[in-house]
Structures are given as structure tokens and as C-alpha cells.
Structure 1
Amino acid sequence: MDRRLIAAFERALGAEAVLTGIDDCLAYGYDNSSYRANPAMVLLPTRIEQVQAAVRLAREYKLPLTARGRGTNTTGASVPVERGIVIGFERMDAILDIAPGDRTARVQPGVLNGDLQAALAPHGLFWPPDPTSAPFCSIGGNIACNAGGPRAVKYGATRDNVLALKAVTGTGELVEFGARTSKNAAGFDLSRLLIGSEGGLALVVEATLKLSPKPAARAMLRALYRDMESAAEAVARLMAQPDTPSMLEFMDATALRLAREVGGADIPDAGALLMIEGDGDPAQLPELLRRLAGFAQGDGCLDITIPGSEAEQAQLMAARKALSPALRSLASGKINEDVVVPVSKVPALVRFVEALACESGLTIVSFGHIGNGNVHVNVMYDKADAGQTATAEACAGKLFAEVLRLGGTLSGEHGIGLAKRPFMAQAFTPETLTMMRGIKQLFDPDGILNPCKTLPE
């Protein structure tokens, strides 16, 4: 990058906030996907004014600017445009305020989800979004992709747990949306518009989060099933009854084997497993579990047990969270899709995935937050085999087409990024996409914020 341009950013942000070394920039050129690109510059602001200055300079010089949290995204959403600029928020990591009486916390975007949870614990509170990467993903990243996690089935995803945002638009203006109150009927709800926009509309620089009381107790059921379809039928029954589980996780037979062999969980062989959790008053938990177990029973149910100790429950949960990296033991290539369908359509989706695996001859592993209808479908293939690679990519296209036919959506929590961008034209009508582009134009008139992502060409 031109030295005069570098000097302009150093004057505006301070030399300590500007990285241009090849090795320094390389670390900001990838996320948890297969996409890579080398930025020409990395900016690490500590104050809102620096973010505004960075955006104004990027706009002046027509430079693409990609926001980055901790790079845990799986769709390439935080991968920069080649030779563009990354603005990382890792140094804006302050918890500005915790208000237990209001059940709110005000934070900067670089705060780690896990660090926030630790700070809230003494107050008996927690922030519900709990993705697998919670110990090392940032709140800003959670906001960018509307992160969820296992307990979103009861407590909601990020969009349901943010009250207000401060953000810098593509023109460098600081805007504020929402309020610190749980009820707000004043004006347009633009906070929810920014959540899930992957940094393409504005850069979030502060968030007011809605907190929940930490349950006094949790307990888990482990239900084993003959096959995926019988487990899916049980999910439909469980989500139709009055008691909402605080977690409802699913693993197919291959995921079960990995949880046992790689994750160390003590699980018998079965066609599928459901992890069903209830939370609340310790005195009422046994009766809640009894009711949940009753709905989990049915054709194809092999066994329902309560893990004997908190340690066993923690081990089972840890094995579930270890599944994604454990898949690398099956094949060198993985297409990981986090599709969502209405809960009543989960059995149909499961049947389709089983048929797709037979038709393609590839191993397809399914697990996920099935209480929301959110299934992580992992198509495994050999990267060195061109035929398998093409077949895997075709499987993804067929999966998306079926999900949309069932009334579902392309992503529950991973976002669109680069990976799913080509399928957006199937998911939305031309009129809707035109409106989305108009909103993008309003927030970011020169198209500098995270370009070439989300919206199709």
C-alpha cells in the first residue's frame, strides 16, 4: 500500500493502531472457513472516534473495509477483500456497565462472550447466546451473524437479546438505535436490522444487552433412538408441548461415534441421540424432566436416562461441542451448512439428508440445535478428489433447495458471508433483494463496508 496512504491512517488513528507488516496482516486474512485473502492494512482502534476516522478515510480513498471480531466465523464473512483493509475490534474490549436491576450490560464489541458470562455470574445473570465458540468469540461477532447456540431454543438468539446499539455507518456517522428498556415502541427497530448484517451496513461500536437470570438448576435427559427419523419425530412432539426445554440437541449415528471416540463421552451405539435439558426451580426439575421424558418416548425410542452426575452431563455437552473439529478425522473436506426448517418439517429434512447421503455416496453427518429446527448438515469429502468435491458442492445446492421448499432458511446462526452468497437469489425474491440493496445503499452509499458478501451480485 502506498506509504502516503499509510501515513494518513497513522495520523488519524495513531501509529500504534495501524499494522502493515506482511506477517501482521496475514493473521487477519482468514476466519474459520476455507476462504483466504491478504489485507494490505489492519486497523486496531480503541475508541469510537478512531473507528469514525478509519471509515471516513476508507471512503475518501474508496478502500474496502472489513470488520473482524475474533475470526470464528465459518462462512468467510470476516475474510477481507484482497489488498483491502481489516478493522479489528479486539482492543475495544471493555465491559462498560452492568446494571443488575435493569438486567442489562453495556459492552464494547471486542468483549469475549465467555468473559462477559464470567463477569455476569456474580450477579446471578447470563447473556443467552452461547455458541460453541463462546470462550473466544466476541460480542461484536455474535451481533454480526446473529449467533445462537444450544439454549436459543428457550432464550432466543442474539437478535432477541440486544436492546440498543451504537454503530458507525459507511459515511463515518455515529448512529444510535434502540433503548435500555425492555419495551420500546418509538421509531423503527433498526438495531434488529443491523444484527445479522455481517458488518455490511454499519460497524457496531457499543451494545446494550438484555440479560436473563441464571437458572437455579439444570438437569439433562439423554434419549437414544433407533434412527434419525424417530428422533426427529420426538423433537416435533417435544416442541408442541407446553414446557419449552432449555436445550434440545441432536446427534446422528456418526456424530454419536465421534462423541464417544474423540469426545470421550460414554454413549451406547444408536441411530440418533437427543440431549434434552430443563432448567428452573430445583424442586420442580424432577417433574419437568418426567414430563419431557414422556414426550420423548415413542416409536423408535431405545432408552431415556438421566446422566448420573453433573460431571457426566458436562462431559456429554463437551463432546457435543467438540463435534465440529472432530469431523476432520473423517475426511479432509467439509461443507458445513446450518440450515433451519420449521420444527414440524424436521422429520422431512432428516429423511432428505439420509437419501442425499445414499444418492451421493458421501458421508453426511448431522447434529445441531434441533429444537429450533436448526440442523448442522456436514458433507464430508476428499479435497484431493475432484469428483468428490463436485459431488459435495452439488449436495449443498440440493440441500438448500429442499430447505427452501420446506419453508426454511439458509442459515440459523453462521450467516451468509461468501459461502452462501450465490444461493441468496433462490431464498429471496428480486423485489426483496432490491429492497435489501437499497438499505445497504442508505447505510453505506459507497459500498465500502464488507463488500462482496451476503447480497448476490
Structure 2
Amino acid sequence: MDLLAEIGAALPADRVLTDPDVTAALSHDEAEWAPVGKPVAVVRARSAREVAEVVKACHRHRVPVVARGAGTGLSGGANAVDGCVVVALDKMDAVVEVDPVERLAVVQPGVVNDHLRAAVAERGLWYPPDPASSPWSTIGGNVATNAGGVCCVKYGVTRDYVLALEVVTGTGEVVRLGRRTAKGVAGYDLVGLVVGSEGTLGIVTEVTVRLRPLPPAPRTIAGHFASVVDAGAAVRAVAEAGLTPSALELVDRHCLKAVDDWKNMGLAVDAEVLLLGRVDEPGEAGEAAAAAVLACFEGAGATWAARSTDPVEADALFAARRLAYPALERLGPVLTEDVCVPAAAVPEMLARIERTAARRDTLIANIAHAGDGNLHPLLITPRGDEDARVRAQAAFDDIVADALDLGGTVTGEHGVGLLKRGGLAAELSPAVLDMHRAVKAALDPAGILNPGKVIPA
């Protein structure tokens, strides 16, 4: 029996899609210029058993399997390889359980991040990881890339909130990893290993996440700066003052204009760069923290800085931050960076990005989770301009090299996927890369799970 017949015999007929137009649309994420192969089919699974049946069949036939969620990734991690089966998990979208006593939730991988947040908020609880794509991205994809977001400067990233996983292994076995208890150190941390592995070590079919109480309403501080370097100096000043804001976001003029042109939000910001800080301590502690962040902005040379007294206005500014990427996509192809550097190196890294833009004759807009040094330079090119594409890709490599030179890393939250494999090889020693390959071989002996991703050849 051939592969598709075998899968078709094990699953309901509506699960297996082979129409080339449909499969092409489900064969890639949002990474610009990352290679995309042609799958033989897309399977829209509805349960762990169905995922396991697909993997077992692919293991027997030695056919690659690529898992995908909502396809919002920016590194090519969900891109198909030729001849593979894509397993789409977006229909596995149930919030299985919310336990307010243990402060945890159990969800399927296709649950959208913001939908989980809304579900637990009804119980007075909060799931902190909040990537800019939270209205669209899924928890399974967030787990795959160890996503972060606006709040992670204070509250941490996805790995910090995953207690347990149900995973389909490379041989099609369904296993449970982790625990539901607040503490537990039995055995190796296999949950931590799988989080961030981008579907190369197993396919996640259920996630148990840790929750927190809803935080108090935040206080927002906004500052205008004449340059990204000045704004970077304010970020460093906040860190040097020992402050931990719940958000510290950088958005430059290019991003704000693109959002305003698209959504007509009235973002009349007369500055090259907007820096947004938030603190969420209650009462007098919150007032003191807001005043301290404001002082850091002013001391670093803000041309204007103030506490926001209008929650609607403050929310609009953070909404603009989230809309920056799709707004800039309207201008042309956008190659998105995701480097992370130490907080003290943020001003120098932003200066180097500016020099790279000039040297490579490439428009680079800047947004950043600046508080934890996670920078997202957005390299924008005119549609159909091949020379501009080549320059942008060279600038992309320059930015990666500069981040490593400053003691940083090639990816803070988007994952390695296809676009950062060369950067990973530069960041890790040969011995450590061999450790990665050994783990991959142990958990996926046939090498069928998302081959060609993350680990350099």
C-alpha cells in the first residue's frame, strides 16, 4: 500500500488534502525568501491519534513530516520540503481545561494565543507570553519556537510557562512529558528540550501551561527620541537603574507611519523613535517605578517624555507596535531579523544596524522588545527588485554577525528555521552542534521530523 492510501485508510476522508492550490497555501510560513518544497499532501489532524497514524506511516515509508500551526512564523521553520506530508494542527483548537486552584491550563496546539488569554482571564488568570502575533499565532507554534513577546522582559518566555507536553515522537509513539505540579525534578528536562525545537524532535499535540493572576492595570510611559541610538541609551539606563518594566518597546518612525497610513490611527509622533515603557506594580510602588522609568528616558536625552494619562491612547500605541509588521508588508517584501544582545549593548547594536542600512543601501525599520535586547530590524525591499533583495540578504547576514560580535544570539524568539542555520553554526561550537545532532538522532532516528531545519548540515 502506498503512503497516501495507508494514511487515508487510517483517517477520515476529509483529513487528507491533495489539491495543489490548497497544499501550496499550507506549505510555508511568513519568512521572506526562505525555500519552500512541494508536499505530497496536507493532513488536517484533529487528535493525537491521527497525528500518530500519519507519523507511523511516514516512518515506515521514510517520508518527511512537517508540522505547522497558523503559519505565522518568520524563519521558515514550517516550510515544506519536497515529497513531505504537512501535518496542520490548527483544527486542534480546544481549551481542554482551566484549573484555577493549580493555576494551569491544558490546551491543544491549535489554540490561538489571545484566545487562551481570554479564556483564562474569565477566571482571573493570565498567560503572560504575548508575541506580537498573539491575535493569530497558536500555542503549538509558540511552543515550537519558544516565543516571547512584549511582556517577556519581566515575565519570561514560553518555556517558562510550559509544565507538560503530549508529543508524537519520530516513530509515531504518543508520550507525555513533564508534570502538573508546581515543582518537579524527576529525570531530564525533556519538556524544556522540546520547547523551541521547531518540530524537529516531536510533534506537540497537547500543552499544559502555568498561569499567573491577572496583573494590575499598567502605567504607560512614552518617550520621543531623535535617534535609535538615543532610545537605546534610555533602554540601557533603565537596566542600569535596576528597573524591570513589564514592557519596554521601541518603534521607529517608519513603522509608525506605515501603521498610520494603513489604519488611520492618528499617530502624530514628531520623533524618529518612540519608546514605550510599562510598569504594573500596584499602588505607590507602581507610581515610583513609573517615575523612575520616566527619569531614565529624560536623562538619556528624550526630546519629550511623559506618563500617559489616557489608557485608550496608551493602548493604541501598543496596538501600533503589534501592527508594525503587517503594515510594513504592504510596502514590499519584509525580511525580519530577530537578534538579541545584552541590554548594555543595545545602543551600539542599533548604531550598527543604521550603518548597515547605509552601507547596503537598504531601508531598515526598527521595532524591538528593547528591554531584553531582542531587536527586530525589518529589511524592506521594493517588489520585484532583485538587486535590492541581494542587498537586503547581505544586510541580514551583517546584522547577525554584529549581534554575535556583541555577545548576542542569532534568534531571540522566532527560531532558527531555515534563515538562521548559518548563524547558529557561527554561534555554537562544533562540539555543541554535535550534541544537537546526537539529540536529534536519538529522538528522530529516521530523520523524518522537519528535516533540514535548525541544525546546520
TM-score by length of 2: 0.95
Aligned pair 1:321/2:322, yes or no? yes
Q: Which residue of 1 aligns with 2:272?
A: 271
Amino acid at match of 2:270: D
1:147 deviates by: 0.9
C-alpha distance in 2 between matches for 1:118 and 1:299: 37
Give CA deviations for 1:380-438 in whole Å, capped at 9, x if unaligned.
Answer: 22343333222211111111111111111111111111112232211111111111011
1:23-102 correspondence runs (5 A): 23-34=21-32, 35=34, 36-102=36-102
Q: Which residue of 2 aligns with 1:174?
A: 174
Matched-pair contact (CA < 8 Å) for 1:250–1:369: yes
Amino acid at match of 2:308: P
Comparing 415-424 and 254-263, the one that deviates more: 254-263
1:49 deviates by: 1.8
Give CA deviations for 1:212-257 in whole Å, capped at 9, x if unaligned.
Answer: 1111211211111121111111101112334311100002232343
Q: Which residue of 2 aligns with 1:21?
A: 19
Q: Which residue of 2 aligns with 1:311?
A: 312
C-alpha distance in 2 between matches for 1:18 and 1:433: 36
1:138 deviates by: 1.0
Q: Which residue of 2 aligns with 1:420?
A: 420
Aligned pair 1:213/2:213, yes or no? yes
SS state of the match for residue 250, structure 1? strand
1:355-434 correspondence runs (5 A): 355-434=355-434
C-alpha distance in 1 between matches for 2:39 and 2:168: 21
C-alpha distance in 2 between matches for 1:179 and 1:241: 37
Amino acid at match of 2:17: L
Matched-pair contact (CA < 8 Å) for 1:223–1:305: yes
1:432–1:245 Cα change, 3 Å: same
Q: Which residue of 2 aligns with 1:353?
A: 353
SS state of the match for residue 412, structure 1? coil
C-alpha distance in 1 between matches for 2:308 and 2:261: 18
SS state of the match for residue 337, structure 2? strand
C-alpha distance in 1 between matches for 2:18 and 2:232: 51
1:43 deviates by: 1.4
Matched-pair contact (CA < 8 Å) for 2:231–2:300: no
Matched-pair contact (CA < 8 Å) for 1:257–1:269: no
Q: Which residue of 2 aligns with 1:247?
A: 247
C-alpha distance in 2 between matches for 1:358 and 1:91: 45
SS state of the match for residue 368, structure 1? strand
1:16 deviates by: 2.7
C-alpha distance in 2 between matches for 1:10 and 1:362: 48
Show structure 1 runs of 5+ residues with no match.
none
Comparing 34-43 and 180-189, the one that deviates more: 34-43
Matched-pair contact (CA < 8 Å) for 1:383–1:389: no
C-alpha distance in 2 between matches for 1:434 and 1:283: 52
TM-score by length of 1: 0.95
Show structure 2 runs of 5+ residues with no match.
none
C-alpha distance in 2 between matches for 1:218 and 1:321: 17
Aligned pair 1:289/2:287, yes or no? no
Number of residues of Structure 1 aligned to a counterpart in Structure 2: 454
C-alpha distance in 2 between matches for 1:328 and 1:130: 21
C-alpha distance in 2 between matches for 1:25 and 1:260: 35
Matched-pair contact (CA < 8 Å) for 1:167–1:174: yes
Comparing 214-223 and 40-49, the one that deviates more: 40-49
Give CA deviations for 1:45-82 in whole Å, capped at 9, x if unaligned.
Answer: 22222222211110000111000111111111111112
C-alpha distance in 2 between matches for 1:192 and 1:154: 20
Structure 1 consecutive aligned stretches of length 4 or more whose deviation exceeds 4 Å: none
Comparing 173-182 and 310-319, the one that deviates more: 173-182
Matched-pair contact (CA < 8 Å) for 1:231–1:274: yes
1:212–1:38 Cα change, 3 Å: same
Amino acid at match of 1:218: P
C-alpha distance in 1 between matches for 2:227 and 2:22: 49
SS state of the match for residue 123, structure 1? coil
SS state of the match for residue 455, structure 1? coil
1:87-126 correspondence runs (5 A): 87-126=87-126
1:30–1:299 Cα change, 3 Å: closer
Comparing 258-267 and 102-111, the one that deviates more: 258-267
1:13 deviates by: 2.1
Comparing 175-184 and 262-271, the one that deviates more: 262-271
C-alpha distance in 1 between matches for 2:124 and 2:294: 28
SS state of the match for residue 122, structure 2? helix
Matched-pair contact (CA < 8 Å) for 1:164–1:191: yes
SS state of the match for residue 355, structure 1? helix
Q: Which residue of 1 aligns with 2:236?
A: 236
1:282 deviates by: 4.8
Comparing 431-440 and 91-100, the one that deviates more: 91-100
Give CA deviations for 1:73-108 in whole Å, capped at 9, x if unaligned.
Answer: 111111111231001112222211111111111111
